[in-house]
Structure 1
C-alpha cells in the first residue's frame, strides 16, 4: 500500500476534529466499518469529477474492492476516457473566473469546451472516441444485439485499441479499473452526454437502425433491481453520493421501488453519505438532509448518515485515501 494513504489518514485523524472536517472522518470510518461487516458500497458520481481526475484515487478504490457498483452521469463515464486519450491536449485556464463572454466565444472557436478551469479539446478527445465507439454501435446494431453504455466503453478499453493514444498513466483511469473488474455502471440520462448526443444523431441519420442498441434507462433500472436483490441476499449495501442530481436520485430509489411498486421485501441502504455544496433548502433534493430519506423508505433510523457540505474534488480523494489506509 502506498505510504501516502497512511500519512493522509494520520493527518485527518489529528486535525479533522470538528464541523465538516469531523464529519468527513466519521463518514470514512463508517465506510471502513461497513466493509468490515461484509457489506458492499455503491457510489454515485455527479458533476465533472472525471475531468477533475478523480480517477487518481477512485481507480485504486475499485482495484482494492472497496466499491462494488457505480452510478454516474454520461459525462463522467465518457470524460474519464477523454482524459485518458487526450490529457496532453487539455488547456488549463489560470484565471477562469475573469473570463468574459468574448473569451468564452474564442474558446468555442478553437473547439475547446470549458469545464471550470479545464478545456476539453473536441478533436483529440470527443471526436477520437466518437469514431471508435461508432464502429462498436454499428457492429452491435447489425448483429441485433444491445448493450449498456458502459459495456461499449468496456469493450473498447479491454480491446487495447486505444492504448496507443494513452496520455496519462492508465492506472489513473477509473473506468479502465472498473472494466478490469467488470463493475456494473448505471448511467441514467445518458442521452444528454456528448456520446449520447452522437448516438441520437446516428439513430436519426439511420446509421443505427435499432434505437435500443444502447439500452435505455428503464433497462438500466431493471438491471439495478436485479443487482441490488442479488447483492443484498447476504449483506447490506451502503450508498456514497458525490454531488446531487440524477446520478444519486436514480439508484437510491431502487429500494422503495422494490418494496412499494413490486411489493417485494428489500433491505434498506445500510449507510448513506453525500458530499455536496448544495446547502439544506426546501424543495432541493441535493440539499435534503438524510433523515428525509427515511420517509421515502430508503434509509433506516439506525443507518449511519452523513452530509458533508464541501467541494467533492477536495473531500472525495481524502475519504478514499482514508478508506485505503484502513
Structure 2
C-alpha cells in the first residue's frame, strides 16, 4: 500500500461535518500515541463479521492498540470467519427478504447478520468442538480462565489451523493472541459460545460452572490493568458502537475514584466514539462525550470526538490514517 496515500486522500476530501471529525479524531489518536499514550479499543455490534480484522489486526501488530473490550459475539465471530469463511453467504438484497426467505435460511443453518449469513455447522460447531475440549480439560484440572483466554489457548495450540479459510494475518484474534493483548469481554454469557457453555454445564459435561471466569472478575482485572498502566501512560478510549462493550470498561475510572477511594487515578486521556445512535433522552450510546464528564470518566480538557456514521466505513479509514497508509 502506497505510504500515506489513503491519509492524503482523506485530508484533501474529508473537510467538513462527520468527515472532518474522522480526520480530526484520527490525527488526535496518532498524537496521543506519539506522546506516549496507549489505547483501548471497544467493539460493539458485529464488527468481526464486518471483517474489521483486516485493519484491526495490523493496528494490534503495530502496537496502535493496547487493550480491547468487546462483546462475546465479536470475540467468537472473528474465529468463525477464520475457520468457515468459504461457507459464509452474502445476501445483497437482504432488505427484500420475506419471513419465508428467513425461514429457509434457518433450515439451511445459516444465521443472518444484516447481509451476511454465518454457517452454523462449519463455524459455530467447529469452534465449539475445540472449546469443549479446553473447557472440559480445565474443569477436570480445577483450572479457571477468562473466555478470551480459552480462545487464546486454542489459537496457540494450532488445533484450528487446518480449518483456516482466510489469511490469519486478517484475524484480529490471532494478532491479539500473538501479542497476549489484554481483552475484556463483559456479558460473555450473551453470545453463541456463552450459550453453548451454559448448555454443556446443564447437561453435566462441565461440573464447575465457574470454570469460565466471570464479568465481575473481568472488572477487577481491568482495574488492575488500569492502575498499573495509567501510572506510566495516558490511556485513550476508542469506542466503536455503543452498548456494554463501551459502557463496561469506561466505568473503571469512576469505580476506582468512588468505590476504591482513589481520586489520584487519572481519567481517560482521549475519547472517540463512532456511532449512529441518535442523541436523545436517556440514550447512553447516543450521549455526547461531555455527559461523561459528570460521571467522572472524562475531564473537561480530554480530547473528545464523536463521529455519527457507520463504523464499518469509518473505523478502517481511521485505522489507515493512524497506520500512516
**If the TM-score is normalised by the length of the shorter chain, which range does it land in?**
over 0.9
What's 1:183 paired with? Answer: 181
What's 2:126 paired with? Answer: 128
Distance (Å, rounded) in 2 between the aligned partners of 1:115 and 1:300: 37
Give runs of aligned pairs for residues 163-242 of structure 1, distance below 5 A.
163-242=161-240
Superposition deviation, residue 266 in structure 1: 1.3
What's 1:74 paired with? Answer: 72
Q: Does 1:322 align with 2:307?
A: no
Distance (Å, rounded) in 2 between the aligned partners of 1:186 and 1:36: 25
How many matched pairs?
324
Superposition deviation, residue 219 in structure 1: 0.4
Give runs of aligned pairs for residues 34-45 of structure 1, distance below 5 A.
34-45=32-43
Distance (Å, rounded) in 1 between the aligned partners of 2:258 and 2:227: 15
Which of 250, 253, 257 pairs up with 1:252? 250
Deviations 1:21-64 (A, max 9, x none): 00000000000000011000000000000000000000000000
What's 1:285 paired with? Answer: 284
Runs of 4+ in 1 over 2 A off after TM superposition: none
Distance (Å, rounded) in 1 between the aligned partners of 2:223 and 2:201: 28
Distance (Å, rounded) in 1 between the aligned partners of 2:241 and 2:320: 19
Superposition deviation, residue 6 in structure 1: 1.5
Root-mean-square deviation (Å): 0.8
Superposition deviation, residue 7 in structure 1: 1.0
Structure 2, unaligned stretches of length 5 or more? none
Which of 134, 139, 142 pairs up with 2:140? 142
Superposition deviation, residue 144 in structure 1: 0.4
Distance (Å, rounded) in 2 between the aligned partners of 1:242 and 1:111: 29
Superposition deviation, residue 282 in structure 1: 1.1
What's 2:17 paired with? Answer: 19
Structure 1, unaligned stretches of length 5 or more? none
Deviations 1:236-269 (A, max 9, x none): 1000000000000000000000000110131100
For residue 316 of structure 1, give the secondary structure of its aligned residue in structure 2. Answer: helix
Distance (Å, rounded) in 1 between the aligned partners of 2:276 and 2:50: 16
Q: Does 1:268 align with 2:267?
A: yes
Distance (Å, rounded) in 2 between the aligned partners of 1:20 and 1:258: 33
Q: Does 1:305 align with 2:292?
A: no
For residue 313 of structure 1, give the secondary structure of its aligned residue in structure 2. Answer: helix
For residue 298 of structure 2, give the secondary structure of its aligned residue in structure 1. Answer: coil
Which of 71, 94, 97 pairs up with 1:96? 94
Distance (Å, rounded) in 1 between the aligned partners of 2:125 and 2:60: 28
* Structure-1-length-normalised TM-score: 0.98
Superposition deviation, residue 160 in structure 1: 1.0
Give runs of aligned pairs for residues 101-116 of structure 1, distance below 5 A.
101-116=99-114
Distance (Å, rounded) in 1 between the aligned partners of 2:277 and 2:35: 31
For residue 200 of structure 2, give the secondary structure of its aligned residue in structure 1. Answer: helix
* Structure-2-length-normalised TM-score: 0.99
Which of 145, 148, 151 pairs up with 1:153? 151
